[in-house]
Structure 1
Amino acid sequence: MTPRFRPWPLRELVADLRAGRTTPDEALARARRRIAETDAELRAWVACDPAPAVTATAGPLGGVPLAVKDIIDVAGLPTRCGSALRVDIGPAASDAAIVRAWRHAGAVPIGKTVTTEFAFFAPGPTRNPAAPGHTPGGSSSGSAAAVAAGHVPLALGSQTAGSVTRPAAFCGIAAMVMSRGRFALDGVVGLSPGLDSHGLFAATVSDVALAWSALTGDPDAGLDEQRPPRLLVWRAEAHSGVEPATRATMDAATSRLRAAGAVVDEIADESPISALTIAHRVVMAYEAARERAAELAVAHRLSEPLGSLLRTGAAIPHEDYEAARRAVARAAERLALVSASYDAVLGPAAQGSAPAGLASTGDPVLSRAWQALGLPVVTVPGLRGDTRLPLGVQLVGRARGEAALLGIGCWVEGVLRGGIRPSVLTR
């Protein structure tokens, strides 16, 4: 982060709320004050609720301010999806299912954050708090920036390709993409039903673990004693866009993890991952053209990237779509055989640090394979490249294995941040 921007640790706020050192109203006032001080520069928000409900705070998060990506309905606020097509849309009548779940956990939605148009590539105005002249990534641009800037300690995103993993890596914070289908998508303006997943952002993996425990009742993996994991490293050698600095940083990270006691082996055959990456593009385009058929009918009014996606998808024969789905199934079987003896796959979260300027949100290529499989992914911050901008790594776990994956993520985060001494523990 630049000196002006620091994340707001979720564990710190929850501890203060539980101990009575602060109140939900004071937490809300802090969030509003921080937004007022810095959002004219960062432009992470599209709407803030003037009077969010802070009375129902009995859940474990008990009054934590929450940011919500603007493709997810929040009662009383419009869901504009970053598109001129929806600029005059009225407020949502009810919360999305995922927002109701977070309210039940005690979080208080305080507003909507910037998304790229319908969660695809056309960037919004948001700047990266870690490097304000650089993109925050997308499509969950505003949610990542709001957490990185300390506006809120927790924010919601979504991922169809790399829309959570990449912004977290670029902004130097933690995130998790949930297993596909883990929570209902009711009230979310989706892009590809077979790929869309919920996500969340927080300052650290430990904070994400706390949030997940509050949302689901799963054990708080971040507090458990963790043994060094067995990791299968994916270096993305098949993708030439991975920058040399990212490769060097990954090498250094794996060396530190081995020194701390982790088993770290290499994926010898990347061809299943390449097959998944190709199939993901076909599935995404085909489904987007049908999910967003109303927008396709007025594609001339859309951004060029989204209009092109929808037109491309509309031209894909159903047979090609089914072939892509079969390719996903075959690749999943091959990867399952390779990864069965490991706790998680470790790889770079993005090709490099955040690109300069706001014209592009970066390339999601390193997330497509895992999104095609619908697996949970945790982005671990703490690394920096030769430009001193943030670099993240991603950990890919087993379907519906979020709690275990977060435990691994907390261990990896501790090692990469220098908080865990080398261990003699073995698996």
Structure 2
Amino acid sequence: MGAPVSPWSLRDTLAAGTHGALGRARDAITATEPDVRAWVEFAPEPTGPRSGPLGGVPLGVKDIVDVAGLPTRCGSVLRAGAAPAVADAAIVAAWRRAGAVPVGKTVTTEFAYFSPGPTANPAAPGHTPGGSSSGSAAAVAAGHVPLALGSQTAGSVTRPAAYCGVAALVMSRGRFPVDGVTGLAPSLDSHGVLAARVDDLAAAWAALTGEPDPAGRTPRTPRLLLCTAGPLEPPMRAALAGAAERLRAAGTVVDLLDAADVDALTAAHPVVMAYEAARERAVELAHPGSLSVPLAELLHRGAAMPETEYRAALGRVARHGEALAAATHGYDAVLAAAAPGPAPRGLDATGDPVCSRAWQALGRPAVTVPGLRDDAGLPLGLQLVGHAGHDGDLLATGCGVEQVLRA
């Protein structure tokens, strides 16, 4: 990758004033987009006054989310000739009301599943940026925009953020409507947003919701549960253990979470995902020759699945979700790995979402905390998983954790 890149802090921009932010985005994209390849379409240059707390902050939008006047192609040849959307998705409209300005559509994997697009990883050249919100993660990591929207069905926000060394929030499922979003599995799909730091996500959340800024809350001693479930690679396992020790040294309570329920949810999630995806994307399933092999296999597997298997998986989600609700009661968040390790080398795959499947099955909010590196200098991401409906509380906890780990 040519010119050096670094993420763009939203909070710093708001403090300095947003005048010129759109020009900064245009210049940054012009300078490095030929290498990063994070974008598929750009919006016309906006005109007129920009109100709202974000006051003209540039926003990238994943190309499964409608933006009025732009096509939504979903990374698929089946949507190559899509007409421009006639209206914003509900989540885009909400960000516009807060003052954000969509500047374009970012690359997504095919229908937000596994088949990658052309996007490079600005933080780890030669390694995958992850998926499916690959373009949004790369656009933030490259400093093209301070905010970009993603979506998550398995690990599509958490993992790219970890691989690209940026922060992300997966919102509680149902916090905002999904109208105008091309989904994959309705009971699993969640909105996400990516930024340079957790502190920036807190500022964005306050602007979006009108809630008090989570970063401004009076600090208190957090209580965390450490989750070491999953096939973690040695660098990630060491980073997670080291982070837990640093947090304990700073006064944070960090207890160990029994992984049995997490493992059960991780196993149930792909069953639910396959069954729902086959029905949500039934039109595309009728054209298997125009689908990637991974997506075609997912849809065929789900289409052949008996409803009884699906219902049994939903039952396991409910049962183990109740057990985890009891286990996490009285704790602020679960501390876990955001991905099994650093970004795998190459651009022909997007990595493994295993670390997020359990939490996504429950619709809980999750924050990716950047800042750690392996011995080769590749980004490693942690995630904090909060309680459903308490996204602001989770961001407040995340700001505190970020401060400790960056000290």
* Mapping 1:303-318, distance limit 5 Å: 303-318=292-307
* Mapping 1:204-223, distance limit 5 Å: 204-223=197-216
Contact 1:174 1:208 in 2 (8 A): yes
**Counterpart residue identity of residue 92, structure 2:** V
Match of 2:29 in 1: 35
Gaps of 5+ in 1: 419-427
Contact 1:127 1:358 in 2 (8 A): yes
Please give the per-residue CA displacement for 1:4-52, whole angstroms capped at 9, x wherever unaligned: 01111001111222xxxx52xx21111111101100001000011132x
Contact 1:158 1:164 in 2 (8 A): yes
Match of 2:340 in 1: 351
2-structure distance, mates of 1:292, 1:254: 41
Deviation at 1:216, TM superposition (A): 0.5
Question: Which residue of 361, 371, 383 corresponds with 2:350?
Answer: 361
Instruction: Give TM-score, length-normalised by structure 1.
Output: 0.94
Match of 1:411 in 2: 400
**Counterpart residue identity of residue 160, structure 1:** T
Contact 1:116 1:124 in 2 (8 A): yes
SS at structure 2 position matched to 1:378: strand
* Mapping 1:284-363, distance limit 5 Å: 284-363=273-352
Task: Determine whether 1:163 maps to 2:156.
Answer: yes
**Counterpart residue identity of residue 260, structure 1:** A
Segments of 4+ moved more than 2 angstroms: 53-56
Count of residue pairs the alignment pairs up: 407
* Mapping 1:239-258, distance limit 5 Å: 239=230, 241-258=231-248
Match of 1:10 in 2: 10
Deviation at 1:116, TM superposition (A): 0.1
SS at structure 2 position matched to 1:405: helix
2-structure distance, mates of 1:297, 1:281: 22
Contact 2:3 2:31 in 1 (8 A): no
Deviates more, 1:274-283 or 1:103-112: 274-283
2-structure distance, mates of 1:70, 1:345: 30
Identity across aligned pairs (percent)? 64
Contact 1:54 1:63 in 2 (8 A): no
1-structure distance, mates of 2:9, 2:200: 7
Match of 1:265 in 2: 255
Instruction: Give TM-score, length-normalised by structure 2.
Output: 0.98
Deviation at 1:225, TM superposition (A): 2.5
Deviation at 1:3, TM superposition (A): 7.4
Match of 1:143 in 2: 136
Match of 1:422 in 2: none
**Counterpart residue identity of residue 94, structure 1:** A
Match of 1:47 in 2: 41
Task: Determine whether 1:181 maps to 2:170.
Answer: no
Contact 2:2 2:35 in 1 (8 A): no
**Counterpart residue identity of residue 159, structure 2:** R
Question: Which residue of 374, 387, 403 corresponds with 2:376?
Answer: 387
Contact 1:56 1:106 in 2 (8 A): no
